[in-house]
Amino acid sequence: MPNPKRIAVIPGDGIGPEVMPEAVKVLTASGANLELSHFDWGADRFLAEGVTVPQDGFTALDRDFDAILVGAFGDPRVPSNIHAKEILLGMRFKMDLYANVRPVRLLDSSLCPLKGATPADIDFVVIRENTEGMYSDVGGVFKQGTPDEIAVQEDINTRKGVERIVRYAFDYCERHSKHDGTQRERVLMCDKSNAMTHAGGLWQRVFKEVSEEYPQITTQHMYVDALCLQMVRDPRQFDVIVTNNMFGDIITDLAAGLQGGLGMAASGNIHPGKTSMFEPVHGSAPPIAGKKMANPFGAILTAAMMLSHLGLKEQAEKIEAAVLEAVKQKRTTHDLGGALTTSESGDWLAERVAVGSAQSR
C-alpha cells in the first residue's frame, strides 16, 4: 500500500468549522488513503494568543504536507480582518500558489437561476492569477483624515506572473475534458485593457505570445464588463477563462450564482509540483454561522478536487457522483431547496460514498 497522502486541515472561522467536519466525513468514507492533521489557525486563536500564523507555519505546511484543506476565514470580532489576510493571502502569496482554479459546473437545472439552462450549458473553469494584481496591497494612504487625503492602490502585473498564469490556463485546457467527456478547446483572456492600458497591454502581448505555442487551442478575448453580461446571457460559450486576481474574484462569485450559489463552488490554489491549498469559494458567512444551515457541498467538492489533484481520481469521482445524487434527490440544505442541516447533509453524502466504496472494493 502506498504511503498515505498527508493533509493539513484548517477549518478557520464562521461556517468553516461547520462545513469542514462534513468534508472530512466524506473524505474518510471515500476510502482515500489519507493522514489528516488539524490546525486551529483562525480568529479564536488570534484573539486568545495574538498569533495569526505560527512561526515557520508556511514552511512547515510546504515541507510536511501533500495538500492543505481550508474552510474559511473572517470573523466580526476582528474588524481589521488581519488574521484572515495573514493566513489566507499569506498562504497564496508566500507559498506562491499562483493559480487559483475555480471550476464552474451546473449539476442540475433546478440550481440555476437562468431560464432553461441545463448542465450541458454551464461547464467552464476560471483560472485566476493569485499572487499579484490589486491584491498585492502595494500603495499607501497620505494625509489621512484630512480633506486632502490620497489613497493609492497599485495594480502589480509582472511579466513572469502573467506569463505563468496564462501558460497554466493553456496547459489546463490541453489536459482537461469537460464533464461530457469532450476535450476542452478554448481559452479566453479577460481584462479591461481598453481602460487599463499598461497592465492590459502586458496581458494582451503575453496572451498572444503564449497562445502561439498552443496552435490547437482556440483563443478568445473579452473585457470584463462584457464577460459579466455574456456569463448571464450565454454561459455555454465559455470553456477556460484566464484573468487577473481581482476580476477572477468578482466573476467567480457571479459564476457561483449560475451553479446554485456560493455553497456549491470549489477552488484550488495551485503551484504545480508544490504543496497546494484547496478551499471553498465562499467565505466565513457570519450571518449564517452557528445556525446549522451552511451548505457543505462547496467544501466537499473542494475536497474532491484535492483528491483529483493528488491523483486519487476514483475517490474524487465517487464524491462528485454522490453530490449530484444528493442534488437530484433534494437531500440538501435550505439554500438548494432541501430541508437538511449541515451535518445531516454530510451524513447522507458520507453514507452514499461509503456504499460506493464498499461496492468498488
* Residue ranges binding ligand ATP (CB under 6 A): 15, 74, 262-263, 282-285, 287-288, 294-295, 298, 335
**Is 225 one of the annotated active-site residues of the chain?**
yes
Q: How far is the CB of 316 from ligand ATP (least distance, A)?
A: 20
Active site residue 98: no
Residue nearest to ligand ATP as judged by C-beta position: 283
Looking at the Cβ atoms of 131 and 302, the one nearer to ligand ATP is 302
**Matching residue, cell 467536519:** 21
Cell numbers for 195, please give them. Answer: 481602460
> Which residue of the set 40, 62, 108, 253 is catalytic?
253
Q: In angstroms, rounded to a whole number, what is the distance separating the alpha carbons of residues 152 and 133?
A: 13
List Cβ neighbours of 23 (8 Å cut-off, separation of 6 or more): 69, 296, 299, 300, 302, 303, 346
Is 148 a residue of the active site?
no
State the nearest-atom distance from the C-beta of 254 to ligand ATP, in Å.
Answer: 12
CA count, 13 A, side-chain hemisphere, 272: 7
Rounded Cα distance between 23 and 72, Å, is: 13
Q: Taking the complex as a whole, how short is the minimal distance between the CB of residue 218 and ligand ATP, in angstroms?
A: 32
Nearest CB to ligand ATP, comparing residues 189 and 322 = 322
Q: Give the shortest CB-289-to-ligand ATP separation in angstroms.
A: 9
C-alpha closest to that of 125 among 284, 246, 305: 305
The nearer residue to ligand ATP, 83 or 282, going by C-beta atoms, is 282
Which is the catalytic residue, given 98, 135, 168, 172? 135
Q: Quickly tell me which residue has 469537460 as its cell.
A: 178
d(C-alpha 114, C-alpha 345), whole Å:
25
Residues taking part in catalysis = 135, 192, 225, 249, 253
